Amino acid sequence: MNQKLLGLTRFKSEELLGPLATVILLSIGVGAISASLQLAVQFALCNMVMVLALQIFVGNSGVLSFGHGAFAMAGAWISGMSTASERVKGNALALQDLWEPLVGFKLNLYVSIIAGALVGALIAAITGAFLMRLNGLAAGIATFALLGFSYNFFFNNITFGPGSQALPAVPKFSGIYEPLALALLVIVIVYFFNISPTARSLRSSREDLLAAPALGVSIQRVRWIAFTISGALAGISGAMYVHVAGTWQVQDYYLVFTFITLAMLVIGGSASLWGAVVGTLVVTAVGQILLLWEQGKSVLGIQFDLPNGARSLIIAGSLVGILLWRFAGLTGGREFKIPKLTSSKSSRG
């Protein structure tokens, strides 16, 4: 089957329950092994939400976006600033010039995550009204400019945050179940969006920019809707990340974050929700193994002494390999499906 024919069109329980069950089992199973792996799982869940946000827009529209880190950045900022204690914001050296209303600004942790989603959606909606007119290279450059603008705004601004420093003592999740619940919720949201008429129209515009309008599809409108929803989910990812790390700093959501989440999407298969999940899990697992080898540790009795930075080089090389030889990703862009056993009766004469 050609990849361009792939995409969710109607509800099939296995396509939703498969990813949900996989994420639940692996998260709880791996997280129970050790505290360090539980932390790794929490960060993986944050990345998964970001990859799913990218899948809604990039996977369905075929338009590459480097700007989603800006939405995660904003979501993390509002969630971190609203949950850090007034004492920390008032006394931290990096926050001496903080705008006074932000010092006393306080939200519940869960409400702050909703605020992060709303801020991400708002920024995506405003910028998307202009950016969704662009295609190809122009769209990629414009979204990268959005990321660069956001990074420089937060990095050099000490009125709305700590600038180049870190905001300390942000409340952390109590365990693995809170980020897991958020990731599962986002999987459900992405699935039901992908079977919606808007997503189907968006995929039609991905395949033929000329034929889609002839069929009554408003390309700018469907792109804008997907961009706004994906901005909200990216905001949730950023808010989750700040409550896993326990600190907010703008560098966490810039180039490395953008590259690794896009790599996860492409390696898994950008055309499907299942591809986004698989890509996140595979890249995270490989990254953890390579990190241990960089530290001179063994994995299942196997040890390699890798130089520092080898992990990033190998993941980058894997991305290039996927683009060259398996553009549809590890899943082929297909959704989860339970293999059906061939009946022996069919082979009888």
SS (H, E, C) 134-163: CCHHHHHHHHHHHHHHHHHHHHHCCCCCCC
Note whether 263 and 57 are within 8 A (CB): no
What is the tens place of the pLDDT at every residue in 107-141? 999 999 999 999 999 999 999 999 999 988 999 99
Note whether 60 and 7 are within 8 A (CB): yes
What is the tens place of the pLDDT at every residue in 231-266? 999 999 999 999 999 999 999 999 999 999 999 999
Q: Amino acid letter at 311? A: R
| pLDDT over 90 percentage in the chain | 66
**C-alpha 104: how far from chain center:** 30
Whole-angstrom distance, CA of residue 44 vs CA of residue 268: 14
Residues 6 or more apart whose CB falls under 8 angstroms from that of 86 comprise 103, 104, 106
Confidence of residue 341 (pLDDT cuts 50, 70, 90): low
Residue given tokens 């396509």 in the structure block:
15
What is the tens place of the pLDDT at every residue in 25-39? 999 999 999 999 999
pLDDT at 349 (0 to 100)? 45
Whole-angstrom distance, CA of residue 328 vs CA of residue 247: 36
pLDDT at 93 (0 to 100)? 67
Mean pLDDT, rounded, for 296-303: 78
What is the tens place of the pLDDT at every residue in 197-238? 999 999 988 887 777 887 788 899 999 999 999 999 999 999
- In terms of pTM, does the model score above 0.85? yes
Q: Which long-range contacts (CB under 8 A, 24 or more apart) does 214-223 make?
A: 219/132, 220/132, 220/133, 222/198, 223/57, 223/61, 223/63, 223/128, 223/132
Note whether 120 and 75 are within 8 A (CB): yes
